[in-house]
Every structure is written in structure tokens, then in C-alpha cells.
Amino acid sequence: MRWIDGLEAAAGEKLAEPVHRYFRQGSAGGVSAGEAVAAWSSYRFRPRVLTDVSTVDISTSVLGTPVDLPVLVAPTTLQRQADPSGERAMAAGVRDAGSLLAVSSNAGTTFADIGSVGTPWWVQIYVVKNRDITLKMLDAAVAGGARAVVLTADTPVVGRKEDDGPTVWEVIQPGDLLANLDADDYPDEDLAKADDLTPDVIGWLTERTGLPVLVKGVLRGDDAKRCSDAGAAGIIVSNHGGRQLDGAIPTAQALPEVAAALAGTPTELYVDGGIRRGEHILAALALGARAVLLGRPALWALTVAGSAGVTRLLTDLGEELEHAMRLAGTPTLAALTPDLIAR
């Protein structure tokens, strides 16, 4: 068994049960969360033979930042439950693998603190009803060295989770969440997610931060094009790990349509959700993604082995990708094209 395959169960030995459940769970009936991995495994390849694969190069750049591998870490909350050093440990693990981290706006560590680790990072933002709160957070992220803004667009309301037993909110500590916001200063309605967003928000975020904006949570080609036309520097095809609209299509299935819609635009394409193997990354890159992001696997690795676990997760998957590229007869990332996938 691969080390990666044992992580979820091993993390269950260390985490409080409601936290383990929260990390694992999807929304509502758990349909989207349950089928994400299988959707990647359902692709079949058309490998090339008699190509020189003695050297394989998986280094690339993401919105101009060089990375050693096309495997990044997605924004997730409650990292202090996984490791006492929380986002700092996650960032150190990502740094040592030569990758890039997206940091949740609900992080339990200040952006300044995360920035001081020296890892390239993007800030994920939920725009909330009181835009002053969003702007304050963005100012702190810019000051902490964030290189891009990831606008999560699939969350006008938070997907309903169905819990058997105490919820995570009953067991976490006050410092685990929202270190970048004085939540007590605002009424709940100010902090609620904005449910009136349009593509105009992309220009607003770009202008206010001076940073490129990626839109996360896109599952349709027409939406990707609307975002690109509105100035999005990147699109992240995502169904939020199956935690928003249950029954939303697997990202493995959505990716080709989005790639087709973005063809000929400068907008970079990323994907997350259910990516667990080198072959899944091979498929994602062949179908047009520039890099993939990992959510739950990074939380499990952080729980089980701290920052070294995160580094191992990323480097293991990078090695699996290299191995798969050799077997597919594709020594460079540029050689990963849609014809590698059987229709």
C-alpha cells in the first residue's frame, strides 16, 4: 500500500472524531465527495512509445511563480487541529517541496506569520456582505506577501453538512479560525458570505489588491469565459471537494469543457478535487490544467507527519507523475496534450 493511501485512517487515530469527520465529509448526501477520485481513475490513456524519456522535467510556473512540480496545496481551514503550528507547518512543508500554498481566509494564523515562512502563497477569499471586512483581510494578505487572490465563487451560502454526533464547531479552540479578522467587532450579518456577486468583483479585487485574481469553483465553460473576459488571471475548476452543491459534476468531467472555453485566452487553468495519484495528475495536465491542487491529502499528511509529511506527500506525487510521464512517453509537461486521453 502507498504511504498516501494510509493517511486518512492514520489521521483518524490522532484527530478528534468530529474534526476527522469534518475534513472527510461532503455536503448533503455526499454524492460529489464520494465520486471525485473514481472520476479521475476512469480516464484511459493512449501512451506513446519510442520517445526518449531518459530525462523528465515537471517544473513549471504558476502565474509567474516558478514551482518544482505542478502540484499545489488548496486552501483548507482548521489546520491548527491537524498540527499545533497549523498553517505555518503547512507552509514549511510546501516550501520544502518547492510548491505553492493557497491559504484559506478562515486561517488560524495571521497572514504576516504565514508570509514569514518564505513559501510562495496565494490568499483565498470569501467576499462577505460587509466589503470593508474583505478589504481589511486583503490588505493584510498583500502586506504578508500574497502573490494572488483566489476568489471562491461557489459559496453564496455554505453547503449543508449532515452530522451524526457533535459538530466540529463544538470541539475546536477559539484560536483555530479567523486569525485575520476581529470577528467580535462585527455582527453576524456583516460576516455572512456575499450572495450578490457578479463577474465585476474580479476587476474590483484586481484593482484593490494589485494582484492577479483566480476564480475557484468554476465547473462550466461559459462561466470560465465570463470570468476570463472580466479579467481573471486564473480559473480553478473545483466543486469544493464536494462540500457545496451536492451532485455537482466531478471536476475530472468538467475540466475538458472549461479548457475548451479558455483556449486562446491568457487565463491559466487549474483543477482540484479527488486527485490522489500521479496518473490523476497526468490526466488533469493532459486535459489542459497547468497544475493541480490537493485539499484533504494535505490535511491528512499534516496531521500524521507535520510539515515533513506535507513535503513527502507532494514529492511522492511528483515522483509518481514523473513515472507516469515516462510510461506515457511524454518527457515534458508541454507533451501532455488531450490526445493522450482516450475519448
Ligand X SMILES: Cc1cc2nc3c(=O)[nH]c(=O)nc-3n(C[C@H](O)[C@H](O)[C@H](O)COP(=O)(O)O)c2cc1C
* Other CB atoms within 10 A of residue 61 CB: 13
- Site residues for ligand X, window 112-131 (CB under 6 A)? 124
> Between vectors from CA 292 to CA 102 and to CA 43, what angle results, nearest 5°?
155
Q: Cα(153)–Cα(114) distance, rounded to whole angstroms?
A: 24
Single out the residue of 39, 58, 62, 74 in contact with ligand X (rule: CB under 6 A).
74
Count, residues near ligand X per rule CB under 6 A: 23
Query: Minimal distance in Å, beta carbon 253 to ligand X?
Result: 14
Query: Does residue 150 contact residue 125 with C-beta atoms inside 8 Å?
Result: yes
CB of residue 111 vs ligand X: minimum separation in angstroms? 14
For ligand X, the binding residue among 250, 273, 306, 309 (CB under 6 A) is 273
240 is catalytic: yes
Listed ranges 203-211, 226-234, 266-274, 281-289: which one lies at the site for ligand X (CB under 6 A): 266-274
Report how far apart, in Å, the C-alpha atoms of 274 and of each of 101, 159, 228, 237, 278 are. Answer: 18, 18, 25, 12, 12
| DSSP track, 93-115 | HHHHHT--EEE-TT-SS-HHHHH
Least Å distance, CB 108 to ligand X, is 11
Residue 109 interacting with ligand X (CB under 6 A): no
- State phi, psi for 96 to the nearest 5 degrees: -70, -20
Question: Least distance from C-beta 216 to ligand X, angstroms?
Answer: 6
Binds ligand X by CB under 6 A, chosen from 27, 76, 303, 330: 76
Count of positions (residues) in the chain: 343
Q: Which residue has the cell 514551482?
A: 67
> What would the grid cell of residue 168 be?
466540529
Q: Which of 75, 108, 278, 306 binds ligand X (CB under 6 A)?
A: 75
- Regarding 152 and contact with ligand X (CB under 6 A), the answer is yes
> Exactly one of 234, 250, 274, 331 binds ligand X (CB under 6 A); which one?
274
Catalytic residue among 20, 240, 280, 323: 240
- Contact flag: residue 73 with ligand X (CB under 6 A): no
- Write 119-123 long-range contacts (CB < 8 A, 24+): 119/91, 119/92, 119/94, 119/95, 120/65, 120/67, 120/147, 121/91, 121/145, 121/146, 121/147, 122/146, 122/147, 122/148, 122/149, 122/150, 122/214, 123/148, 123/149, 123/150
**Helix (H) or strand (E) run with residue 41 in it:** helix 31-41
Identity of residue 337: T
For position 317 contacting ligand X by CB under 6 A, the verdict is: no
Spell out, one character per residue from 212 to 251, where the chain touches ligand X: x when CB under 6 A holds, - when not: ----x---------------------x-xx-x--------
Task: Give least dist CB 49 to ligand X, A.
Answer: 32
Instruction: Choose between 77 and 267: whose C-beta lies nearer to ligand X.
Output: 77
Cα radius of gyration (the chain): 19
* Residue closest to ligand X, measured at CB: 295
**Could you say which of 87, 176, 268, 272 contacts ligand X (CB under 6 A)?**
272
Should residue 99 be labelled a site residue for ligand X when binding is judged by CB under 6 A? no
Per-residue contact flags (x/-) with ligand X for residues 153 to 192, judged by CB under 6 A:
----------------------------------------
Q: Angle at Cα 283 formed by Cα 280 and Cα 289, nearest 5°?
A: 105
Residue 278 binds ligand X, judged by CB under 6 A: no
The distance of closest approach from Cβ of residue 270 to ligand X in the complex, given in angstroms and rounded to an integer, is 10
- Does residue 77 bind ligand X (CB under 6 A)? yes
Query: Which positions touch ligand X (CB under 6 A)?
Result: 22-23, 36, 74-77, 104, 106, 124, 152, 216, 238, 240-241, 243, 272-275, 294-296
